[in-house]
């Protein structure tokens, strides 16, 4: 999470777009919040994990000073290994059901085995989808960039107040 003030929202967005593309990333989503005091833009960037540090460093060069800089990592290795083990166990169960299906002699037995087989296959597909998602998560890093601009009327009022205090 990176947060900073800017004096040019549009120019900052153009620079962030350029830096993101340079690092082979993309803007995943964006939100804008405009109140009486300031306009706050938030963008969520996805970038290949190997380019994460480069992107943070290049953003630092256009910012000068971050008000907030919070870098976290999320290791999914244990969960990934666990899900793979469960997929393998379910595939073993699927094979046993297939063997039982070839030995079944009654229609009721066949229907029950096929019902169980369907449930196991659904679980396998779900877990394989989860492992694909985790692989993608491991390959891509996320950066949330919050940049804001204080409205000129507020900025001018603040300057006037500072002048009066100085007098």
More confident residue, 14 or 72: 14
**pLDDT confidence band for 72 (50 / 70 / 90):** confident
Cβ contacts of 67 within 8 Å, gap of 6 or more: 3, 4, 5
More confident residue, 38 or 74: 38
**pLDDT confidence band for 157 (50 / 70 / 90):** low
Residue pointed to by tokens 């037995």: 109
Q: Is the pLDDT of residue 154 over 80?
A: no
d(CA 60, CA 147): 13
More confident residue, 139 or 126: 126
The strand pair at 2-5 and 38-48 is best described as unpaired
Q: Is the pLDDT of residue 163 over 60?
A: no
Q: Which of 93, 64, 76, 55 is nearest to 135 (CA)?
A: 76
Return the pLDDT at 14. 96
């Amino acid at each position: 999470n990176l947060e900073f003030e800017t004096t040019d929202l549009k120019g900052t967005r153009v620079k962030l777009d350029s830096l993101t593309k340079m690092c082979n990333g993309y803007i995943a989503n964006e939100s804008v919040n405009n109140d009486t005091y300031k306009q706050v833009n938030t963008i969520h960037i996805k970038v290949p994990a190997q380019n994460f540090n480069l992107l943070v460093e290049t953003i630092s060069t256009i910012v000068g000073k971050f008000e907030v800089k919070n870098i976290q990592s999320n290791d999914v290795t244990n969960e990934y290994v666990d899900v793979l083990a469960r997929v393998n166990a379910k595939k073993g169960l699927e094979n046993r059901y297939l063997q039982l299906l070839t030995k079944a002699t009654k229609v009721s037995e066949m229907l029950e085995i096929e019902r169980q087989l369907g449930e196991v296959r659904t679980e396998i597909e779900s877990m394989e989808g989860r492992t694909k998602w985790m692989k993608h998560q491991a390959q891509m890093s996320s950066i949330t960039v919050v940049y804001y601009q204080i409205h000129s009327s507020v900025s001018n009022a603040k300057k006037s107040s500072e002048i009066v205090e100085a007098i």
